[in-house]
Structure 1
Amino acid sequence: MLKNWIKTVVLAASLLSASSAFAFTEGKDFKALSKPMPVAVAGKQEVIEFFWYGCPHCYAVEPHVEAWAAKLPKDVNFRRVHVMWDGRNDMEGHAKIFLALQALGLDGKHQQAVMKAIQTDRIELRNEAKLLEWVKSQGIDVAKFKAVYNGFSTNAQLKNLAAMTRDYQIDGVPTFIVNGKWVTSPAMVGAEDATITKMLDELIAKGRKAPAAKKK
């Protein structure tokens, strides 16, 4: 009698665990890119986050992404790309902030801080004077930041961001690309929480079974 009861409890626990597991569907929660893209680092799994500092959906999901990124294994290369849509000149100032912080190795550290300044504190960071005041408040070397922000290289890289946005066919943010093969987003999985990082983990596991394309 006791053995049968134990078996029943174990079976029920197993069924509960299975029902609470995340199950993602291709075509709904993620889909294959129409044109596969090469990864930046051969031999590594790759996740690219396309985002915009001014996007409230990016801001909502970013804490979950940062927590996930902090625990990634060494075989995963995670990188962010600030989106640049053609005809959207209002994005250029934000993209330049990203490129300047990236050049100084500070983009990851200040990712959420920039979004908070723009979306919560309502600081117009596309105004250079206000931007530099904010940069100073963050303890960033203002002279170094300004030099990079207005540098020729940063302006040239804006074209690279626009090209990547077109090449990956990004029409909304945040959007995640895994191994240059699959695309997913909070909109696709239906939640702006850790569900998206579980989706990314599943695609990474899928990628380990099918190696990513090598960089050309």
Structure 2
Amino acid sequence: MAFNAVEGKDYRVVSPSVSSPSDSIEVIDFFAYTCAHCQRLAPLLEDWMKKLPADVSVRRVPVAWEPATQFLSRIYYTFEALDRLEDLHPAFWQDILGGIITSEADLQSWLQSHKVNLNEWNAAYNSFTVTMKTQQALQTWQNYRLDATPYVAVAGKYLTAPHMAGSRQKTIEVLDWLVRHERQARQKH
């Protein structure tokens, strides 16, 4: 029997909906570097994202719950600006949760150990682009009125998470269902 996600249990409707691209079904992975649950969901999401059809776009949005952790969002976008997201993001996440990086000095040492040029790092970290993306991330997760992570949004209309779906694996099933549901709704219009 085909799986059918249940509104209010497996996912919730975002009201009012959040602006989303009309030319694709946008999936947003909301995560926090301080969230071990997010880190455990990440490999499943990565595998799922690799198999998505062309009409689905994906982006990650780092969540910083307070000004004191805003620098973590900047770090994510700095990895992106340096084109080092693929190798630095998972390693940084592991080490921040593991307590290896607890200060600015630790971060500088960590960056050097990962062969990051500190001048390039500082230029990217303080750049207009990274500043704007960090501010946009804050606005995006606030628009969805998030109060926890991880969450995954679909098409600006739906949110799901392991605590709603019941497990990380079931979250992937709910995401598949939401993407299909949104695709069918768009085909009717």
- Please tell me whether residue 150 in structure 1 is matched to residue 94 in structure 2: no
**2:164 alignment counterpart:** 188
Cα pair distance change 1:110/1:195, threshold 3 Å: farther
Which one has the largest radius of gyration? Answer: 1
In structure 2, the gaps of 5 or more residues are none
**Is 1:202 matched with 2:177?**
yes
**In the alignment, does 2:135 pair up with 1:159?**
yes
1:39 and 2:13 correspond: no
Which of 116, 119, 122 is equivalent to 2:94? 116
Q: Is the 8 A contact 1:52 1:82 kept in 2?
A: yes
| Cα offsets for 1:89-131 (capped at 9, x unmatched) | 23112111111112223334433222101113x1225x33322
Whole-angstrom CA distance in 2 between matches of 1:107 and 1:184 = 25
User: Contact 2:101–2:110 at 8 Å: present in 1 too?
Assistant: no
Distance in structure 2 (CA, Å) of the matches to 1:35 and 1:137: 45
Provide the rounded CA distance (Å) in 2 between the counterparts of 1:108 and 1:32: 31
1:131 aligns with 2:107: yes
Q: Which deviations, in whole Å up to 9, do the C-alpha atoms of 1:42-72 show, x marking residues without a partner?
A: 3211100111011011011111111111222
Which amino acid letter does the alignment assign opposite residue 34 of structure 2? G
Superposed CA offset, 1:129-177 (max 9, x none): 3223222323334332221112344334432222112111111101111
| Secondary structure of 1:176 counterpart | strand
TM-score, normalization by structure 1: 0.78
Q: Which amino acid aligns with 2:101?
A: E
SS in 1 for 2:37: helix
Contact kept in structure 2, 1:43 and 1:211, CA below 8 Å? no
Is it true that 1:24 corresponds to 2:24 in the alignment?
no
Asked whether the equivalents of residues 95 and 158 of structure 1 are also in contact (C-alpha less than 8 Å), the reply is yes
Give me the whole-angstrom Cα distance separating, in 2, the residues matched to 1:157 and 1:185. 24
Residue aligning to 1:105: 83
| Contact 2:79 2:89 survives alignment (8 Å) | no
- Whether the 8 Å CA contact 1:48–1:81 is kept in 2: the answer is yes
TM-score for both structures, normalised by structure 2: 0.88
Percent identity over the alignment? 32
